[in-house]
Structure 1
Amino acid sequence: MDGQKKGIGKGELIALIVSSCIGTGIFGITSDVAAAAAPGPALLAWIFVGLGFLMLVLSLNNLSEKRPDLTSGIFSYAGAGFGPLGEFISGWSYWLSAWLGNIAFATMLMSSIGTFFPTFKGGQNLPSIIVAIIFCWLLTILVNNGVESASFVNMIGTICKVLPLVIFIIMMVVCFKAGMFTTDFWGRVANNASQGTTTGSVWEQMKGTLMTLIWVFIGVEGASVMASRAKSLTAAREASLISFGLLVIIYVLISILPYGTLTRAELAGMGQPAIGHVLQATVGNWGSILINVGLIISTIVSWLSWTMLPAETTMLVADDKAMPKVWGKVNAKKAPTASLMITAVLQTIFLFSLLFTDKAYEFAYSLCSAAILFSYLFVGLYQMKYSSAHQEWGQFTIGLLSAAFMFACMFLAGWQEVLLVSISFIPGFYIYYLACKENDRKVTTAEKWTMALILILSVIAIWLVANGTIAIS
């Protein structure tokens, strides 16, 4: 029986889910989508990605209802379905995605600050990287001392994040020109007006947007976790689906409406944060100031929360004995010091590497998106396995579509990034071996074959980078 209990109401839960899912990605989506696709292919890409993530949300809702005993996040689904190695791969990928997302936060933050202080313009020069590293370590130290984002801080971040987006949508509607929007709607015309953009096949344009669209949906898995706080299971399921629908509407409006205010080439040439530049070109400097002030505040608040997320990931996986205990060991303030410090060091190293990357923000979020696809894939696969065992064929189909979507994104749009992510498993599998040794568990033959396959992919990735096939610059 779906009994009532103390908890968050449906309306409050919807607001919580939407605000937690909207991150910095939406502030930069306009130029990246315009560079890859004209309005028609972009809309088709949104339909494709929206349906794919809907299957993921439905799978998460079903599994959280059917397996409330699995408390280690989405990694526990991989563990329940495919053993300790499955949980490790899922958790490792999620951990990698989380701190790579922080790299994207850093470049977007410094780009925004560059609006007011030209020294940081672009967000990836040496001064920007040094300040970003200082931010990284300050936030790490704060979290290590037990300082997490309180509710009032999150409220400030939410207001600063949502208010500029609402104003942006209103201004885009007011300034919208139907004639400009429909000009070369399918992106088939190659001319001076489309310079710097992809033209030609609708399918090729759709593929070019996939990693960008996946990036803005990262965090949607949190909906199923937060939905568990609802007053009833019915309210939880309804809030999860309604919030997902609202997210899709917001994302589509912000990425599509600008096609009716500026040319596609102009949109594609915008720096980051793109919607700040779009608003500046549309209404003047006050638009850029509004967007950038809101973005700076909301990014710092989000970055504080996401500093804890990678550490929480390793804690959960270590508690399930798929990683060494040190990754989950907490200090007197209940913060996992070792995991926080390892993550901060890796972020520092990666930030310096952005000096050699033409588009730091895009590079960081592409790797972030590729990494999390592994975790999402396991959700669909376990949904299939669980539903098949219980002969729930409707749920099995949902899991199948979710898994197929993740596979499609890996192979169609992100194969280079997926190969780059596979390199991280070279040290990762050594850490898994240490966990097995620490817990007196033998690595099975099936696990050895799985690790060998992924390591072969990592060697191929290194070779492709070395010969220039995969360009990281």
Structure 2
Amino acid sequence: MAERTDGAGPSTGTRVGVLTLTAMVVGSMVGAGVFSLPRRFAQETGVAGAIVAWAVAGAGMLTLALVFQRLAVRKPELDAGVYAYAKAGFGDYTGFFSAAGYWASACVGNVTYWVLIMSTLGAWFPQLGAGDTLLAVALSSAGLWLFFLLVRRGIQEATAINRVVTVAKLVPIVVFVLIAVFVFDPAVFAGNWAGESYGSLFDQVRDTMLVTVFVFLGVEGASVYSRHARRREDVGRATLLGFGSVLAVFASVTMVSYGIMPVEEIAELRQPSMAGVLEAAVGDWGTAFVSVGLIISVLGAYLAWTLMAAEVLYVAAKDRDMPRFLARATDRDVPVNALFLSTLLSQVVLVVTLFSADAFDFALDLTAAMSVIPFLFAAAYALKLRATRETYDGAPRATLRADLVVAVLATVYTTFLVFAAGLSFLLISLIFYAPATLLFAMTRREQGRRVFAPAELVVFLAVTAGAVAGVVGLVSGWISL
């Protein structure tokens, strides 16, 4: 295939409408996470804590979705939103950090999909274990590179597949909820209400935040892929449509599970725990039904996230914030080098899971922890725009008030997510950020610029110190994978 590096925009044939963008949002969010929700919630909280957690996460993520909606309209020139907003608001190095962190979270998240597929198949093939055996990693690696070849064929082919898969994968989830409602036992649900053994209600809510962040990753999907939208306002519409649909699905899956089994038993299920819950409700066929749906769902989400991970690197390179070799695209508009580097990082993390105590939970929590910093920067940028009134000339007072409330709440929520992630995952994230700065240095050298401004150097040294602390923690054992 011919390749281009001139930074031209996508061809008319790659422009997509609101339904396709919504499918990208739903396809990005409905993946591995929804099938793991029963066990992850049962490990941290009872019914009362789950209700509060979903209320907090739903409201918080709604404000973040509204932030992306408003920024898409107020800053239509900024593509690949998460990265672009951080750069526009807080400088080049911060923008690089946001792009690198968002990209890395997508790549690590892709690993959870393969681990869960292998764990699902492990119910019938014990050699695959919980997705963390040598054979499981080898098969997952083959899958990584097969999808690399598929996506390399073209954006249009990949998004068409995603639309079909998005519809197909929602069917088993909806069926699960309907069956669970039919066999719902109010006595079991009441017995799971308090969750006293988990500590205070605040602790329960805090401890569920990472898993809610993980399942909501993708709410920004339409913003990330905004350069392909037919109309700019479709980005905001797709974001809100996708968010509302998925929140209803996620909360339903969690709550009905509490009415099927005691919380202690749900917490001990193997992943995908949705299969174990359905098996308890209807028998062995429930496991097979959910497992087939999971594999369809996960492969669809993997496809969507593979596209978005490569898109972030590609657009950053076009904007001269990543090395120019990442701005190379095929004649079918596929950012081939960015796609290759994304697949390579997923491969490295996949190998690392061999050394973790719980491969799926480790990859899930790391994905969520790495994504909250880019989200925080996006929310803070919306707050900065409102505080300085940039783009608000002549705006009605009601708009000024509404946007201020949204920006403040989104910033507070994402700050809370950083706290909920905890020190261990923050330091592990910095182990990636420090060496990733080499890409930033390459970019500056290509442009003949000084690598760091004084303030950027201070940030880099702080990040490096945190990365060193993380390595020491891993070696000494006070941080575990």
Q: Same fold per TM (> 0.5)?
A: yes
Between 309-318 and 361-370, the greater mean CA deviation after superposition: 309-318
Q: Which amino acid aligns with 2:346?
A: Q
Between 322-331 and 362-371, the greater mean CA deviation after superposition: 322-331
Q: Partner of 1:468 in structure 2?
A: 477
Q: C-alpha offsets along residues 104-147 of structure 1, whole Å, 9 cap, x if unaligned?
A: 01101112222343332421111111100111112123333447
Q: 1:52 to 1:202 in 2, by over 3 A?
A: same
Q: Distance in 1 between matches of 2:338 and 2:17?
A: 32
Q: 1:225 to 1:441 in 2, by over 3 A?
A: same
Q: C-alpha offsets along residues 412-460 of structure 1, whole Å, 9 cap, x if unaligned?
A: 3333212211111221112211111111233211211222222222222
Between 295-304 and 367-376, the greater mean CA deviation after superposition: 295-304
Between 440-449 and 50-59, the greater mean CA deviation after superposition: 440-449
Contact 2:154 2:333 in 1 (8 A): yes
Q: Partner of 1:269 in structure 2?
A: 268
Q: C-alpha offsets along residues 243-299 of structure 1, whole Å, 9 cap, x if unaligned?
A: 422322211110111111100011111111111111112101211111111221232
Q: Partner of 1:297 in structure 2?
A: 296
Q: Distance in 2 between matches of 1:13 and 1:306?
A: 13
Q: Give, in angstroms, the shift of residue 74 of structure 1.
A: 2.0
Contact 2:29 2:301 in 1 (8 A): no
Contact 2:46 2:195 in 1 (8 A): yes
Q: 1:398 to 1:239 in 2, by over 3 A?
A: same
SS state of the match for residue 43, structure 2? helix
Q: Partner of 2:466 in structure 1?
A: 457
Structure 2: gaps (5+ residues): 1-14, 393-399
Contact 1:384 1:397 in 2 (8 A): no
Q: Distance in 2 between matches of 1:348 and 1:231?
A: 36
Q: Partner of 2:341 in structure 1?
A: 342
Contact 2:33 2:214 in 1 (8 A): yes
Contact 2:24 2:304 in 1 (8 A): no
Q: Partner of 2:311 in structure 1?
A: 312
Q: Distance in 1 between matches of 2:135 and 2:55?
A: 40
Q: Which amino acid aligns with 1:464?
A: G
Q: C-alpha offsets along residues 306-363 of structure 1, whole Å, 9 cap, x if unaligned?
A: 3333222111111111111112223455433433333333322322222221211110
SS state of the match for residue 271, structure 1? coil
Contact 1:112 1:273 in 2 (8 A): yes
Aligned pair count reads 456
SS state of the match for residue 185, structure 1? coil
CA RMSD of aligned residues (A): 2.4
SS state of the match for residue 213, structure 2? helix
Q: 1:286 to 1:271 in 2, by over 3 A?
A: same
Structure 1: gaps (5+ residues): 1-5, 191-198
Between 328-337 and 411-420, the greater mean CA deviation after superposition: 328-337
Q: Give, in angstroms, the shift of residue 28 of structure 1.
A: 0.9
Q: 1:412 to 1:155 in 2, by over 3 A?
A: closer
SS state of the match for residue 322, structure 1? coil
Q: 1:279 to 1:393 in 2, by over 3 A?
A: same
Q: Partner of 1:137 in structure 2?
A: 145
Q: 1:368 to 1:149 in 2, by over 3 A?
A: farther
Q: 1:338 to 1:31 in 2, by over 3 A?
A: same
Q: Distance in 2 between matches of 1:423 and 1:403?
A: 25
Q: 1:17 to 1:204 in 2, by over 3 A?
A: same
Q: 1:30 to 1:149 in 2, by over 3 A?
A: farther
Scaled by the length of structure 2, what TM-score is found? 0.88
1:399 aligns with 2:407: yes
Q: Partner of 1:25 in structure 2?
A: 33
1:43 aligns with 2:51: yes
Q: Which amino acid aligns with 2:430?
A: S
Q: Partner of 1:85 in structure 2?
A: 93
SS state of the match for residue 261, structure 1? coil
1:415 aligns with 2:415: no
Q: Partner of 1:118 in structure 2?
A: 126
Q: Partner of 2:73 in structure 1?
A: 65
Contact 1:107 1:124 in 2 (8 A): yes
Q: Distance in 2 between matches of 1:421 and 1:339?
A: 21
Q: Report 1:173-188 matches (<5 A).
A: 173-188=181-196
Q: Give, in angstroms, the shift of residue 101 of structure 1.
A: 0.8
